[in-house]
Amino acid sequence: MAGTIGTGLFQPPVTLINTMDAITQKHILRTLGDVTFKPSPVFWAMNRRGKKFGEGAIVYPIITQEELTGGAFWGDQVLNTAVTDSVQPAEQQWRSYYQAVTIPINDIKLNRGGNSVDIVKTKFQIASASLLQKLSRAMWGTAPQNTSLDIDNIPAWVYQTTNTIAGINRSSVTAWQPAANVSNSSAPLTIANAESAYQSVVLGFDEPDLFPMTNTSYAGFKTQFTATPRFIPNDGAQKQDTEALQAGFRYHFLFNNAIVTPDPFVTATQGFLLNTKYLYPVYHIADYFTADPWLKPSNQRVITTTMYLTWQLICLSPRMQVCITGM
C-alpha cells in the first residue's frame, strides 16, 4: 500500500529514524490553517448593528410620490381632499442556501484517541466557512452565486438602474432607482469624484457609512490622503500641525463619515457608497443556520447532515446608495 510506514519523521532532526518512526507520536496543532477562504468585510459590516429577522413574505410599502393635497389656504376656501394612492408594495422572495457535511464512519473511528483533532468538529468548521464563502459571493452576485435562485445582490440594488427588483420595474418607477452611477475617468479614484458621488446620496445628516472597493482601488485612493498634510486651526489661521505627520493609517480610514474598506468580492473598477441603515440582510427566523440530524444511508457507512440558511438582502431606500465606476 502507498503511504508512509510509521509516523513519517524527518532526518534531521531525528537520528534514529526507524526507531523513532515506530514509537513517536506526532504533535498535531489544534488549529485549522486557512489558505482558501476570503472574508467579506461588507458582510460583517451589514450585520454589525444586530441581525434582522423576519418570517412570512418579505413585503414593504414604498412611498413613490408626494401627496399634493395640502398647502396654504385662506378663510372658507374649498380644500382639496382627493384620495391619493402614493404607496407601491415591494416584495422579495426568500432564498435558501445549504452546505452538506458528510463523513465516513470508519474515519471517525480511526480518528479517536491520542493527540488527534476531532474530525467531526473539523468538518463542521470547514463547512461553516464554506457556507459563509457562498453567502459572501451571493451578496455581491459573484459566480457561481449569481443565479436566479440567489438573493438580490448589492450590484443589482446599486449598480443597475433599469432592472426589475422587489417586483418593481425601475424603468417605469424611477423613484425606485438608486442614485445615478458616478464615472471616474481613470484610476485611481479622485477625491473630487468621490465627493461628487458622496454628495449625490447625502440628505442632511443621513449619509453613507460604508465605502467598499477592491484592494487595488483602496490602495490607489488611500495614497491620495497619506501624502496630504493635516492642518489644524491656530489663532484663526490654518497652519500645519506641529506634531509628526501621520503617513499611514492603522485602521481603515474614513471618507467623510463612511468607512473605506477593501473587499475581495467587489467587482473590479467599481466602488459603492452604501447607507446600511437602508441596505441590509434579513434572515428567516425559522431557518437561521439550522442543521438536520445526522443520517446514515442504508448502503453506505457514512453519516451526513446539512446546514441551512434562508435570507434576503433588502433595500428600503435605493436612492441613498450609489456606485462609482472606472476605479
**Average pLDDT score, the chain:** 88
- For residues 302 and 103, the answer to whether their CB atoms sit within 8 Å is yes
Look at residue 2 and tell me whether its pLDDT is greater than 80.
Answer: no
The three-state DSSP-derived secondary structure of the chain is CCCCCCCCCCCCCCCCHHHHHHHCCCCCCCCCCCCCCCCCHHHHHCCCCCCEEECCCEEEEEECCCCCCCCCCCCCCCCCCCCCCCEEEEEECCEEEEEEEEEEHHHHHHCCCCCCCCHHHHHHHHHHHHHHHHHHHHHHCCCCCCCCCCCCCHHHHHCCCCCEECCEECCCCHHHCCCCCEECCCCCCCHHHHHHHHHCCCECCECCCEEEECHHHHHHHHHHHHCCCCEEEECCEEEECCCCCCCCCCCCCEECCEEEEECCCCCCCCEEEECCCCEEEEEEEEEEEEECCCECCCCCCEEEEEEEEEEEEEECCHHHCEEEECC
Mean pLDDT of 289-305: 94
pLDDT at 254: 86
- For residues 161 and 180, the answer to whether their CB atoms sit within 8 Å is yes
Give residue 244's pLDDT band: very low, low, confident or very high (50, 70, 90). very low
Of 7-16, 217-226, 229-238, 252-261, the poorest mean pLDDT is in 229-238
- For residues 215 and 262, the answer to whether their CB atoms sit within 8 Å is yes
Task: Tell me the three cell numbers of residue 296.
Answer: 446514515
Could you say which DSSP state residue 133 is in? H
> C-alpha 183: how far from its chain's center?
23
Give residue 232's pLDDT band: very low, low, confident or very high (50, 70, 90). very low
Backbone angles phi, psi at 132, to 5 degrees: -60, -35
pTM of the predicted protein model? 0.85
Mean pLDDT of 272-287: 96
Give residue 139's pLDDT band: very low, low, confident or very high (50, 70, 90). very high
Look at residue 233 and tell me whether its pLDDT is greater than 90.
Answer: no
pLDDT above 90: percentage of residues in the chain: 65
User: Domain ranges in the chain?
Assistant: 41-62+87-233+246-317
Mean pLDDT of 27-47: 86
pLDDT in tens, 146-171: 999 999 999 999 999 999 999 999 99
Of residues 111 and 284, the one with the higher pLDDT is: 284
Task: Tell me the three cell numbers of residue 14.
Answer: 531525528
Query: How many whole angstroms separate alpha carbon 94 and alpha carbon 58?
Result: 7
Query: How many whole angstroms separate alpha carbon 157 and alpha carbon 288?
Result: 23
Query: How many whole angstroms separate alpha carbon 72 and alpha carbon 66?
Result: 16
Any idea what the Cα angle at residue 267 is, between residues 92 and 45, rounded to 5°?
60
Nearest to 120 by CA among 100, 132, 102: 102
Look at residue 282 and tell me whether its pLDDT is greater than 90.
Answer: yes
Of residues 241 and 312, the one with the higher pLDDT is: 312
pLDDT at 30: 81
Look at residue 237 and tell me whether its pLDDT is greater than 80.
Answer: no
Q: Point out which residues pair with 103 in neighbouring strands.
A: 303
Nearest to 189 by CA among 42, 38, 323, 43: 323
pLDDT at 227: 58
Could you say which DSSP state residue 230 is in? P
pLDDT at 39: 86
Look at residue 10 and tell me whether its pLDDT is greater than 90.
Answer: no
Look at residue 303 and tell me whether its pLDDT is greater than 50.
Answer: yes
Tell me if residue 87 falls in helix, strand or coil: strand
Give residue 27's pLDDT band: very low, low, confident or very high (50, 70, 90). confident
Look at residue 234 and tell me whether its pLDDT is greater than 70.
Answer: no
Rounded alpha-carbon distances, angstroms, from residue 35 to 30, 39, 132, 278 = 16, 12, 15, 34
pLDDT at 36: 87
